């Protein structure tokens, strides 16, 4: 009797360990295709912009956003489901499902903050300087000012340089891989990449608190978990 109970417990434990290993392997496995507009809608992107009445020019539908997101994943070599889920859920959360491209709240909004990633101005400025097509314009606008001394209207003008879709939707990918003094983004933080690629909750929390430098909330976590589930289901269906 005792032996059978022990054996059953061992089988249950082994099953749980196998499921956990399978989940980690699926999360870290490279995606086998582009993120589709249908998947983005499931995650929380807007199917249309008819409800975006406050700032309609900033709104982008899932169909409009998808090509720019996929190109950015390719350009910055981000292929694991875990990393993609973290970045996608971030830009969906920060932009209100791609409704906003600039910070507006509380009104009139924070000068210089924007892109779908809602980066603060110091990173907006670094992103502009790191983008060859707009770097000279950004430097000319800033002049000899230190980043913290750039006037608000100039901050907004520099922000405008990186608001076009091909740059705005790529901002989270740039921030994750290229931002900061080291120009390695968050990838140089010990354990950051592995934690995201394995899609552990602790890995995602580390990303939010020590890469994005904000607070873990139930809303952020729910969106991340939903996004991850959709990507994992898609990858499983394609294999």
Q: 43-48, long-range: CB within 8 Å, 24+ apart, which pairs?
A: 43/88, 43/89, 43/92, 43/223, 43/226, 43/227, 43/230, 44/92, 44/97, 44/223, 44/226, 44/227, 45/92, 45/97, 45/98, 46/97, 46/98, 46/99
The pLDDT of residue 239: 58
The pLDDT value recorded for residue 11 is 40
Q: What is the pLDDT of residue 198?
A: 98
Question: Which residue ranges of the chain lie beneath pLDDT 50?
Answer: 1-2, 5-23
- Alpha carbon distances (Å) from 139 to 129, 145, 164: 7, 10, 18
Q: What is the pLDDT of residue 2?
A: 39
Task: Specify the pLDDT at position 28.
Answer: 56
Is residue 166 a contact partner of residue 71, using CB atoms and an 8 Å limit? yes
Q: Assess contact for 113 and 102: CB atoms under 8 A.
A: yes
- C-alpha 125/C-alpha 180 separation (Å) is 11
The pLDDT value given to residue 181: 96
The DSSP call for residue 29 is S
């Amino acid at each position: 009797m005792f032996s059978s109970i022990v054996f059953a417990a061992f089988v249950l434990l082994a099953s749980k360990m196998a499921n956990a290993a399978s989940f980690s392997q699926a999360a870290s496995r490279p995606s086998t295709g582009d993120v589709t507009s249908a998947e983005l809608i499931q995650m929380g992107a807007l199917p249309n912009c008819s409800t975006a009445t406050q700032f309609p020019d900033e709104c982008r539908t899932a169909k409009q956003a998808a090509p720019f997101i996929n190109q950015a994943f390719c350009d910055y070599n981000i292929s694991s489901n875990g990393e993609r889920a973290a970045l996608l859920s971030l830009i969906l959360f920060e932009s209100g499902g791609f409704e906003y491209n600039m910070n507006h709240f509380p009104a009139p909004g924070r000068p210089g903050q924007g892109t779908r990633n809602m980066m603060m101005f110091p990173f907006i400025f670094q992103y502009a300087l790191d983008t060859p097509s707009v770097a000279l314009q950004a430097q000319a606008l800033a002049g000899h000012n230190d980043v913290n001394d750039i006037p608000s209207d100039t901050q907004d003008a520099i922000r405008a340089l990186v608001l076009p879709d091909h740059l705005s939707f790529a901002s989270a990918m740039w921030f994750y891989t290229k931002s900061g003094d080291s120009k390695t983004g968050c990838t140089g933080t010990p354990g950051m990449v592995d934690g995201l690629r394995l899609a552990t909750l602790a890995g995602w929390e580390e990303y939010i608190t020590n890469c994005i430098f904000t607070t873990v909330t139930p809303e952020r976590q729910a969106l991340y978990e939903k996004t991850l589930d959709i990507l994992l289901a898609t990858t499983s269906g394609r294999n």
